[in-house]
Structure 1
Amino acid sequence: MTTDTSPAADAAHRNAALPQDFRPGRPVVFRHATVLTVDAHGVIENGDVLVVGDRIEAIGRDLAVPEGTVEVDATGGILMPGMIDSHRHMYQTALRGIGADWTLSQYFVFCYLNWGRLFRPQDVYAGNLLGAVEALDAGVTTTLDWSHGLQTLDHADAAVDALQATPGRFVLAYGNLLGAPWEWATSADFKAFASRRFTPGDDMLGLQLAFDVTADPSFPERKAFEVARELELRVTTHAGVWGATTDDSIRLMWENGFMTPDVTYVHATSLSQDSYHRIAATGGSVSVSSESELNAGQGYPPTWQLRKHDIPVSLSMDSSMWWSADLFSAMRSTLSSDRAREHLAAHNRDETIVHNHLRAEDVVRWATLGGAQALGLDSVIGSITPGKKADLVLIKNDRSPAMHPIIHPYGHVVFQAGRGDVHTVMVNGMIVKYDHALLHDTLATARAATAETVEHFRTTMGEKEWQAAREPELPHSERISNPYTYTSWDGGDDRHRPEV
């Protein structure tokens, strides 16, 4: 007996549902998945999840469903809550990868001192649009856009326009790295913008304030915090960034009464025990950007400290000038960096770690429910719980040898799966990606817009500065003198033979 392996036969064995079946309002059921509920229900093997309208109706096995329900065959896949990125400078996606070899100082020079002003409203739109599409494609259903490139209200409107052009869930964290928060946040124009573009209680598009505390003893940021309190907005701030924001920033927030559960501290790497105690005591959370922290120099990812102080954690990717919108990378690097530090500390004590404290389940929770908690949306999204909004991701790839067998579901998400294995993405009850293909047509628009932004930067900066930004100068290296010498090093048989 021969097996038909033709493309037509392969297509016939895929899920029976077609994109046109996912009509608005039609119930959807995911069948026979390994379901990671990230709530008290834990892992449901061979489980079903029924979605009616924009909400999760039921979870279990062999669920009875309404007539006309479209079925998604999730056999061999993992169904999990949509991932949530709690800190990403989305407009910078327009210059994807330019800073692959940057340090944090070089990033500051490029964005704050030299070239940040080159971002026009259309460039913010381009970066946000591409970033939003990329997030959905990678299974990130909610992103906090840490938008500190909003030099004018035109820039801000462009940012919101791009987010609303895609079917994801977003929070605009309004900021302006080239301005003072106590000035732009208190302006009548900003308050009018907030009233015009945002609706209180809208969980599809939210607003926060994004600014850092300089440690100026006069605490000028007070006025921005007061605006956040007046408008009932959460605040997200880069804290504990080596050489930039310090324990004095935390102390000033504490002394002035602005450390609350509505504050997210981004990075929080280079803080004292006292600062961690203050964050824990006031109910704040920390957004960990481990790939950024490991590469750029904000400090070592602080999850080992956050675990000790029982501080809530969410995960983020920071900037596509360096990295992507891929929270698989965030989970993997966070778990690896926490364990590496624990092993190294033990080795320095001449000890051996025999049990890992941080587990794969923990970082999956941080990438989902942890993000929802950081955004104040944990009653709405973040877990597969009946009654919550239906933000779901099916990880399934029958063509990938890495997707079989699934023995440890949480470990599989973290160490085996990747963005290419994201089969289906649902946001607010609507399928936005199916059978590995996005179902909306904004990618071509985003590509064209970002191409124009790249040309604008390259032309305005000039070829010399453009190349210097892409390929920063290598530092002078100091080599250690090697006491061992060899007769030759040419790949011959005597290459390891010591000199006599």
Structure 2
Amino acid sequence: MTDTPATRDGLNSGRPTVLRGGTVLTMDRSDTVLERGDVLIVDDRIEAVGTDLEVPDDAVEIDASGGIVMPGMIDTHRHMWQTAMRGYGADWTLTQYFVFYYLNWGKIFRPEDIHAGNLLAAVEALDAGVTTVVDWSHGLQTVDHAEAAADALTAMPGRYVLAYGNIQAGPWEWVPSADVRAFIDRRRGGKEDLLQVQLAFDVTGDPAFPEKAAFEAAREQGLRVTTHAGVWGATNDNSIQLMCDHGFMTPDVTYVHAASLSHDSYQRIAASGAFASVSTESEQSAGQGYPPTYALRRHGIPVSLSMDTSVWWSGDLFNAMRATLSADRSRDHLDTQADGDTVVYNALRADDVVRWGTRGGAQALDLDDLVGSLEPGKKADVVLVKNDRSPAMYPILHPYGHVVFQATRADVHSVFVNGRAVKYAHELVDVDLQRAKDEVGRTIDYLRSEMGEQEWRSGMSPDLPEQQLFDNPYQYTDWEGGRGAKGVIPSAGRA
């Protein structure tokens, strides 16, 4: 069966849809894999999963043979507003990222620039089969910026969590504010809504623990918190200790990166029942610490995957899964060979990282009863990976391994979110890519004009400016203390 106009016309018409004859990775609790399996979608739900399903006579049929049907992938940490500057920071260090966004130029982004970045990031995610994204939106200097971020997300047919953040002020200032509370009341949806809200802020390790006010406000409003933890030279074991001592290590916190932490900190995270969000491409390149899944596994901390930011890295979870599995195995080889021995059994398998990129993300967001696996009654967030024109998509012998090491975003054939087709036959459906590109083009013109051409060009590979040394490059406070390499902070740009 091939793509036909009738199939295209039937999509999003209210008729049931069946993906027929693919290798189905259900990601259910038994990790059931169906060869030549079917997935039936009715309205916004998965109606049935099985082989040779009987379906309604008017069902739209998609030929999934030769492909892999899997749950929509879930990214638990992406700075979507920075997608407007895709690839700009390819040669940055983490310090240069801090200098550019936190201190020098992040403050010039207007609400429309946040909107543009979010719009393009949302399109990019859907195109790559990422159906749920946590927008770690730390460029929200004002509520107008937040409204623009939310407007962009609601304009797209994906599932999003807006994690409200503001790197231009301490979280104890903006989290409890009346304006932010009012925004959250307006925008937060119920569990089944496509847009939800969290809070995004970091704990710098200041012994006074000024972030306490932000945690208290989050608890009062019933909001989850996502925080960058274990970032070398920025957030460390002191941050974990402070959260623990004040009673804020709960399952409602997600620890992003969670690298460069001590055994005690990992034990505390494990005991809290919380998830980590690992961004392997980021950790490998920026220097938060070695990608920590080898440590998280040993401490029993559950894992979800994320891409961090397209200002540096790719925006799809195929790369995240591939990089994560490779980094974890590389660490095992290095540790074992250092002891004069050889790894003869891979502890981390391909199915593990596929689970982290799907059901793991759902569990981290407390959405496991809605998405993350292909089971009757769950929301129909479904991806078909199939490309008859690609030699790399045949034969499919080890489906999990194929997803991790062989497939790419170019092989995403069809994507459904909440039962709605947003991509079919490798083309986006009812998604306006050109609008997103036009908005980002205007943002780039504005940024280049505002910064000046010399600053714009040098920003891609900046020399370190006249500097003072502070222990914490986040600079929420002037506190100097703790361990780790010092951040390089331009004296003229200090908050």
List per-residue Cα deviations over 1:29-84 (Å, max 9, x = no partner). 11000000011251100000111111111111000112211111101000000000
Residue 297, structure 1, aligned to residue 287, structure 2: yes
Pair 1:153-2:143 in alignment:
yes
Distance 1:72 1:137 in 2: 18
Stretches of structure 1 lacking an aligned partner (at least 5 in a row) = 1-11, 475-500
Whether 2:361 is the aligned partner of 1:395: answer: no
The match for 1:368 among 358, 377, 390 is 358
Equivalent position of 1:18 in the other structure? 7
Please say which of residues 222-231 and 464-473 is displaced more in the overlay. 464-473
Match of 2:21 among 32, 43, 47: 32
1:405-459 Cα offsets, whole Å, 9 max, x none, are 0000000000000000000000001111000000124211110110111111111
CA distance 1:330–1:15, shift in 2 (3 Å): farther
* Separation in 1, partners of 2:441, 2:454: 19
Out of 207, 217, 226, which is 1:236 matched to?
Answer: 226
Question: Structure 2 CA distance, aligned partners of 1:316 and 1:451?
Answer: 26
Could you say which residue in structure 2 is the equivalent of 1:318? 308
1:17 CA drift (Å):
4.9
Match of 2:492 in 1: none
38, 52, 57: which one aligns with 1:62 = 52
8 A contact 1:101–1:472 mirrored in 2: no
Q: Given the alignment of the two structures, is residue 130 of structure 1 paired with residue 120 of structure 2, yes or no?
A: yes
Q: What are the within-5 Å matches in structure 2 for residues 333-482 of structure 1?
A: 333-473=323-463
Contact 1:19 1:439 in 2 (8 A): no
The residue number in structure 2 matching 1:246 is: 236
Identity across aligned pairs (percent)? 65
* 1:18, distance to aligned residue in structure 2 (A): 2.7
Quote the residue 2:189 is aligned against: 199
CA distance in 2, matches of 1:220, 1:466: 35
Deviation for aligned residue 1:24:
4.2
| Cα distance in 2 for residues equivalent to 1:13 and 1:433 | 16
SS of the residue aligned with 2:357? helix
CA contact (8 A) 1:100 1:322 kept: yes
Q: Deviations over 1:269-312 (max 9, x none)?
A: 01000000000001011000000000011110000001111111
Amino acid of the residue matched to residue 3 of structure 2?
R
In the other structure, the counterpart of 1:7 is: none
CA distance in 1, matches of 2:61, 2:195: 29
Aligned partners of 1:114, 1:17: CA distance in 2, in Å?
53
- The answer to whether the 8 Å contact 2:187/2:197 transfers is no
- Displacement after TM superposition at 1:202 (Å): 4.0
With 224-233 and 285-294 compared, the bigger mean Cα shift is at 224-233
The number of aligned residues is: 463
Paired residue for 2:209? Answer: 219
Q: 1:73 to 1:17 in 2, by over 3 A?
A: farther
Match of 2:88 in 1: 98
Could you list the runs of 5+ residues in structure 2 that have no partner in the other structure? 465-495
Q: Distance in 1 between matches of 2:110 and 2:55?
A: 50
Aligned Cα root-mean-square deviation (Å): 1.2
Q: State the partner residue of 1:51.
A: 41
TM-score (norm 1): 0.91
1:183 to 168, 173, 179: 173
Aligned residue identity for 2:450 = T
The higher radius of gyration belongs to 1
The 1:238–1:41 alpha-carbon spacing in structure 2 relative to 1, beyond 3 Å, is closer
Quote the residue 1:497 is aligned against: none
Q: Which amino acid aligns with 1:34?
A: T
Stretch of structure 1 that moved more, 286-295 or 66-75 = 66-75
Deviation at 1:25, TM superposition (A): 2.6
User: Does residue 144 in structure 1 map to residue 134 in structure 2?
Assistant: yes
C-alpha distance in structure 1 between counterparts of 2:141 and 2:417, whole Å: 31
Decide whether the 8 Å contact of 1:140 with 1:325 is kept in 2. no
> Following the alignment from structure 1 to structure 2, what is the Cα–Cα distance between the partners of residues 16 and 34?
25
Question: Is the contact between residue 72 and residue 381 of structure 2 (CA under 8 Å) also seen in structure 1?
Answer: yes
Cα distance between partner residues in 2 of 1:120 and 1:324: 24
Deviation at 1:201, TM superposition (A): 2.9
Contact residue 203 and residue 377 of structure 1 kept, 8 A: no
How far, CA to CA, are the matches of 1:199 and 1:459 in structure 2? 38
How many Å separate the matches in 2 of 1:375 and 1:256? 23
Aligned to 1:49, the other structure's residue is in SS state strand
Say if 1:338 and 1:244 are closer, same or farther in 2 by CA, change over 3 A.
same
Give distance in 2, aligned partners of 1:158 and 1:376: 26
The one-letter amino acid of 2:8's match is P
